[in-house]
Structure 1
Amino acid sequence: MDLPSSEVIKRELLGWEGVTIHEHDFATTRFYVNGIEMGHIHGDEIADLQFPTRISKRLISEGKVLPHHVIPKSGWVSHEIQKPEDVKAVIDLFYLQHQRLIRKKK
């Protein structure tokens, strides 16, 4: 039996150093590393992450993400989850964020 996209993402991220999750309203699961939000997913449909502007712009220009689906000029970016490859892409984005925030703490 295949797991829902959100469950695959949760299981992967929870295996990383310092990561915790918190369920939130609007069917949102927020992921934190050492108390800092890395980003969140809305069920099995979309992931939202906030990067520094230069990183967000680079990811958008490389076609890896879209500007945030509600507030496009906020620095937040979105990645839709529609197919299996999207799950890996979302995990890769969270990994980039995780590594950035782990380094920032040290």
Structure 2
Amino acid sequence: MSLSVRQVFIDKVHSWSGVTQQPHRFGGIEFLFNGKEIGHLHGDHLVDLLFPKSLRDQLVVTGRAQPHHMYPDSGWVSVYLTSNEDVTKAIELLRFKYDYLVAKRDE
């Protein structure tokens, strides 16, 4: 039996030091590091992450993410999980955000 996308995310993100999870206020699972949100997963089909606006713009222009499905002019991005490549891309972005938060903590 294959793992669900949700379980793949949980297993991967929980392997990173200091990561916790809790229910997200709009549904789904929110992943946290040091009390700050890394990103959240809605079901098995959508990941949302918040970045500084300039970084968000780069991610959208390079095709690594799409503007947020509800707040397209914000720093939020969305990754729709329609293929294995999308899952890999979303996990890479979650790791990128995690590394960003670790670096901010260590400043």
One fold, TM greater than 0.5? yes
CA distance, structure 2, for counterparts of residue 6 and residue 41 of structure 1: 8
Give the TM-score normalised by structure 2.
Answer: 0.94
- Asked if 1:11 corresponds to 2:11, the answer is yes
- Asked if 1:69 corresponds to 2:69, the answer is yes
- Asked if 1:22 corresponds to 2:22, the answer is yes
Task: Decide whether the 8 Å contact of 2:21 with 2:29 is kept in 1.
Answer: yes
Amino acid of the structure 1 residue aligned with 2:32:
Y
Q: Which residue of 1 aligns with 2:102?
A: 102
Give the TM-score normalised by structure 1.
Answer: 0.95
1:15-73, Cα deviation, whole Å (9 max, x unpaired): 10110011235441000011101110101010000000111000000001000001111
CA distance, structure 2, for counterparts of residue 24 and residue 35 of structure 1: 13
Q: Which residue of 1 aligns with 2:92?
A: 92
Amino acid of the structure 2 residue aligned with 1:66:
Q
Amino acid of the structure 2 residue aligned with 1:41:
L
Amino acid of the structure 1 residue aligned with 2:94:
F
Aligned length: 106
Question: What's the % identity of the aligned pairs?
Answer: 38
Q: CA RMSD in A?
A: 1.0
CA distance, structure 2, for counterparts of residue 95 and residue 9 of structure 1: 11
Structure 2: tracts of 5 or more residues without a match: none
Amino acid of the structure 1 residue aligned with 2:48:
D
